[in-house]
Chains A and B, each alone.
Chain A
Amino acid sequence: MRRFDIVTLESPNRAPLRIEGFIFGEENTKAPSVAIVGAMSGDHINQLYVASGLVEYLRIKEEEGKIVGKILVIPAVNAYALNMGEKNWPLDKTDINTMFPGYDQGETTQRIAGRLFETLKGYDYGIILEGRRDQGMCIPYVKLIQSGYEDIESVKDLGIGFVHYRAHEPVETVMLQYNWQLWETKAFSIVFGKNGSIDQGASDEVHMALVRFLSKRGMLDFSVFEGRMSNIIDPNRITILKASRAGIFISNVRCGAHVQKGEVIGKIIDALSGERREKLLSPCEGIVTCQYSHPLIFQNSIAFRIASVELNYVSKD
């Protein structure tokens, strides 16, 4: 294992920002290379946990002589935000993951993204551990956006049950996955957990998925159990159940639960009177892939996302 600084940035008053990388194995013409990026935001604690756990796992495997390809793990990009309980870059509040491919003569987070991206270029595979943008929690799923350069076959080796395969949103054109794909790295994201916390079950699953991927793609000389068969899900297979009222949100189910049409899966309580304002009924049969994670819910917030084999039900508007 080689531990090194990818980016060092001096601060006016704090210790320098260091983005550290951990390299395992060597360039090998027979085996591919992969770079894995952990927490880009200050609230991506699950992602930090999985990435740092992977560093420790790979350190042991390297000592056992099991590393075949070249593996780079970057547990934390935005350590400054992680250390302050902030989400974005603490000074100007910009999101580093909207600054790619970066610009070395630009503003601070553009420079950070640019220097990071220089290191990330050229890897065969790129894996981004992501948290959600909203107040949600979710089972681990692969987010694969359509850029024209995506590789849907490689993500199946993770053995993760759901691959959300969809067109990119405007803001995603400045995110790492999209740009990494444009530079011909087979890049994808694994989205999981709830921001600001550690979901041990989801983290274990993602850890095993990463090990499985490394094993199946020939970077790790180590056999692992098969994972799940990946279901390729386009947005039309996701049914959204919104809260028609605001209040205290109580869920009756956990992410990953199989629910039936008409099943009571949650409720909204008036935060002041205690009255039940809404009973949340599953609009279809399927798997709860994602649910609202904060106890206080806004009107029209998405309470549940349910993946099913049927085309989606039109949610309440």
Chain B
Amino acid sequence: MGLIEEVFTIELPVGENFRIQRCRYTSPNTEAKKRISIVSGIHGDELEGQYVCFLLGEWLRNNPDKIKGTIDIYPAINSLGIDSITRSIPFYDVDLNRTFPGSKNDFLPAQIADGVVDVMRGSDFAIDIHSSNVFLREIPQVRIAKAQEASLVPLANLLNIDFVWVHDAVTVLESTFAHAMNTIGTKTLVVEMGVGMRLGHAYGHQLLKGILNLMAHEGIIESKPLDVRFPIQSHVGEVAYLNASCPGLFVPAIEHCQMITKGSVVGHIVNALSGEVMDEVIAPIGGILFTLRAYPIVYEGSLLGRIFGESE
């Protein structure tokens, strides 16, 4: 049985507290041991991580004798957002994952960010589970900023995910949880999978296996390494972005996570009023369609999909 603790709390104006809870599983053995934080719900519209937290908690409850380190599970950082289907922090309408590392002397979202960093400080590892957002569906992947490639890719390869995407850090990423934690020495992986406001069973079980494998490797649980899939590495190919050329209703022609060839039709943008097909969306490269739009209303520029394929 894990120990449920309230690790951060702020009074709300009318008879309630904002709180962040964790469930801590730890070994009775007091020898030096590693600590991992499993984090979800930084965005209020992403729920895949909650399922992974549940599955991991269930496994740990059933295998208490295998716990050799400290495992902290934080399913709901932006608890107000999760309970109101709001991606950002309600009241402030601010994306918490653009507020890190936060500050005690700033507005509530920054204080929450600061509290999150404080409570997780000292973790050896953190896994921050996202679902992209309500607009896009993603295959299980880990995204790593170029600067952290060397230390994080070997860890990501243990996670039983499909794709490791190392990309150039844009400056905005400096305001994320992962950047803040990596900066203070906690090796933090950002997982993206599924789609916002929905739950996929398969991805949850896939990532659970990966987390158990990573913990086995690091001696946090007593287990042999698991037989996990080795993810596609982004450095062996390129990522092509599909952005809408015009507004309309995007109707996919193929399913998510399909192999497609260069020149094949990914979908159409149609005009619901006139009945016209406004654009045919063509794959610029062949490869795997690892991102596909889930919310069909699009403007010019809306992301429709991403393909990972071989470099030309």
Interface residue ranges, A against B (CB under 8 Å) = 9-13, 87-88, 91-93, 98, 105-111, 133-136, 169-171, 173-174, 240, 242, 245-248, 271-272, 296-302, 315, 317
Contacts and interface: CB of A to CB of B under 8 A. Distances in A.
A301 B11 CA distance: 10
Contacts, number: 110
A133 B105 CA distance: 14
A140 B78 CA distance: 32
A18 to B, nearest CB: 14
Given A12-B247, A298-B18, A134 B302 contact: no
A299 B93 contact: no
Contacts of A173: 171-172, 174
A271 B174 contact: no
Interface of B: 10-15, 18, 87-88, 91-94, 98-99, 104-108, 111, 133, 135, 170-172, 174-175, 241, 243, 246-249, 271-272, 297-303
Contact of B135 (A92, A106, A300): A92
Given A12-B248, A92-B135, A302-B106, A107 B14 contact: no
Contacts of A93: 87-88
B13 A271 contact: yes
B212 to A, nearest CB: 34
B10 A170 contact: no
A317 B249 contact: no
B272 to A, nearest CB: 8
Given A246-B12, A272-B14, A272-B15, A298 B301 contact: no
B104 A317 contact: yes
A242 B105 contact: yes
Given A9-B300, A111-B301, 16 more contacts: A10-B300, A11-B247, A11-B299, A12-B247, A12-B248, A12-B297, A105-B243, A108-B300, A109-B301, A171-B99, A173-B171, A246-B12, A246-B13, A298-B13, A298-B108, A301-B107
A133 B272 CA distance: 37
Contact of B91 (A91, A135, A136): A135
B243 A174 contact: no
B98 A298 contact: no
A315 to B, nearest CB: 7
Contact of B14 (A11, A242, A271): A271
5 contacts: A135-B92, A240-B105, A298-B12, A300-B10, A300-B104
Nearest to A17: B299
Nearest to A98: B172
A301 B106 CA distance: 7
A298 B11 contact: yes
Contacts of A12: 247-249, 271-272, 297-299
Contact of A10 (B170, B247, B303): B247
Given A133-B107, A173-B172, A248 B299 contact: no
The interface centre, meaning the residue of B99, B247, B302 with most chain A CB atoms within 10 A of its CB, is B247
B13 A247 contact: yes
B246 A296 contact: no
A108 B13 contact: no
Contacts of A98: 98, 172
A111 B302 CA distance: 10
Contacts of B107: 133-136, 301-302
A174 B247 contact: no
Contacts of A170: 171-172, 174-175
A271 B12 CA distance: 10
Nearest to A171: B175
A301 B297 CA distance: 38
Contacts of B18: 298
B108 A107 contact: no
A97 B91 CA distance: 19
A106 B304 CA distance: 11
A170 B93 CA distance: 18
Contact of B243 (A9, A107, A299, A317): A107
Given A108-B302, A242-B105, A296-B13, A174 B171 contact: yes
Nearest to A10: B247
The interface centre, meaning the residue of A12, A110, A247 with most chain B CB atoms within 10 A of its CB, is A12
Contacts of B91: 135, 298
Contacts of B13: 246-248, 271, 296-298
B299 A315 contact: no
Nearest to B86: A93
B107 to A, nearest CB: 4
A195 B135 CA distance: 28
Contacts of B272: 12
A134 B92 contact: yes
A87 B93 contact: yes
Contact of B301 (A87, A106, A248, A302): A106
A108 B143 CA distance: 22
Contacts of B170: 174
Contacts of B14: 247, 271-272, 296
The interface centre, meaning the residue of B99, B105, B271 with most chain A CB atoms within 10 A of its CB, is B105
B93 A88 contact: yes
Contact of A246 (B11, B99, B246, B298): B11
B300 A111 contact: yes
B299 A302 contact: no
A295 B236 CA distance: 55
Contacts of A136: 107
Contacts of A87: 93
A10 B273 CA distance: 14
The interface centre, meaning the residue of B87, B108, B135 with most chain A CB atoms within 10 A of its CB, is B108
Contact of A108 (B99, B249, B301): B301
Contacts of A300: 10, 104, 108, 111
